[in-house]
Amino acid sequence: MSIAAHPALPLVAIATVGLGALAPAGPLVSLACAAVLLLAVFAAVHHAEVVAHRVGEPFGTLVLALAITVIEVALILSLMLAGGPQVGTLPRDTLFATVMIISTGVVGLCVLVGGIHHREQSFTVDGVAPALGALVALCGLTLVLPVYTTSSAEGTYTGAQLVFVGLAALALWVVFVFVQTVSHRDYFLPPASPSDQTRHAEPPSPKQAVASLALMVLALVAVVGLAKRLSPDIEGFLASVGAPRPVLGIVIALLVLLPETTAAVRAARVNRLQTSMNLALGSAMASIGLTVPAVVAASIYLQLPLLLGLQAKDQAMLLMTFLVSAITLGSGRTHVMQGAVHLVIFAAYLFLALVP
């Protein structure tokens, strides 16, 4: 049994939240909390996978996407409530990082690994195209248009505009989930593959699934508490090394997406690229469709600053990413060259974030 699968881990994480709140601040306490936070993230996703295996596709990838998004929202809101000079741009930086990591890093790695092991792979374009189209619309509404509106300062929305964008993001996500799980579910089902041994694994019993659901909730609660405890340390460390402000958003996105990336690459390796795409694009959709309304509500209710518009360099990166994604995902077949292109864009994104 792996550490993430151990049923005691979420309980240990909850206990660590309490100990971290009572213990005096110090590097050893922070390192311990960070280690338990990472383990709690893996535990939450592991138990989400157990539930996912019980309910089947595409509901399984939806469970994973929701678990990832809850963690991301918890981290963003914890850091926003902690205050500091990066509060206003943190949601923007994290959302942009999530989209770039998924669209270039996760998709590129899945396509590359799948191409190396199977030469070519296929997926259902009818399932991927709507997700990509909705993702383009969501990114345009939340990250690009604020730069060009004139009712408020550049890069920001007025209160009414924020409410509209939050509701629009939520509505698009709800429609996507309906299409994915009800009206066009077949578009998101992976084709049968003889090389896929996981398809024949015995699903967990209802009792095991319920237990995993409870442990997943405990792990997510622990993630929220530990993130709040560590938020000042994260900001202080990045400031001490002189990292640009957007790096904080990248750190949050990388932390949240690491377990899911492992699951997506594992699916691609056993020739289930459709599952990989469901995981990747579904999480990107949930990240914006659920995070934006939560952040908007917190910003309006708590009077927190919110700067959503991307700079020109980042807009260019986003445009290039979506153009390449449309080419890669438009044919329904992939090979290593397409994966390499995505990973080069991902490397450029990371490099330019550190050396703007």
**Going from the N-terminus, what domains does the chain have, and what CATH number goes with each?**
9-354 (1.20.1420.30)
Q: Is the pLDDT at 155 greater than 80, yes or no? A: yes
Does pLDDT of 314 surpass 70? yes
Mean pLDDT of 119-145: 93
Contacts of 260 (CB under 8 A, 6+ apart): 45, 64, 68, 106, 279, 283
Share the mean pLDDT of the chain.
Answer: 85
pTM assigned to the model: 0.84
Instruction: Kindly report the backbone phi and psi dihedral angles of residue 351, in degrees, each rounded to the nearest multiple of 5, phi listed first.
Output: -65, -45
What's residue 84's pLDDT? 60
CA–CA separation, 29 vs 37, rounded Å?
12
The per-residue pLDDT for 58 is: 63
Which of 77, 31, 68, 105 is closest to 256 using CA atoms?
68
Q: Output the pLDDT for position 317.
A: 96
CA 62 centroid distance within chain = 12
Categorize the per-residue pLDDT at 348 as very low, low, confident or very high, splitting at 50, 70 and 90: very high
Cα distances from 155 to residues 39, 91, 306, 310, in angstroms, run 36, 13, 9, 7
Confidence of residue 192 (pLDDT cuts 50, 70, 90): low
Query: Once rounded to an integer, what is the mean pLDDT over residues 310-320?
Result: 96
Element (H, E) at 334: strand 333-334
Give the Cα separation of 345 and 350 in Å (integer): 9
94 vs 196, which has greater pLDDT?
94
The pLDDT of residue 83 is above 60: yes
Confidence class for position 164, pLDDT limits 50, 70, 90: very high
Element (H, E) at 122: strand 121-122
**For residue 57, what pLDDT band results from cuts at 50, 70 and 90?**
low
pLDDT of residue 335: 94
249-287 residue pLDDT tens: 888 788 778 777 887 898 899 998 988 998 888 888 888
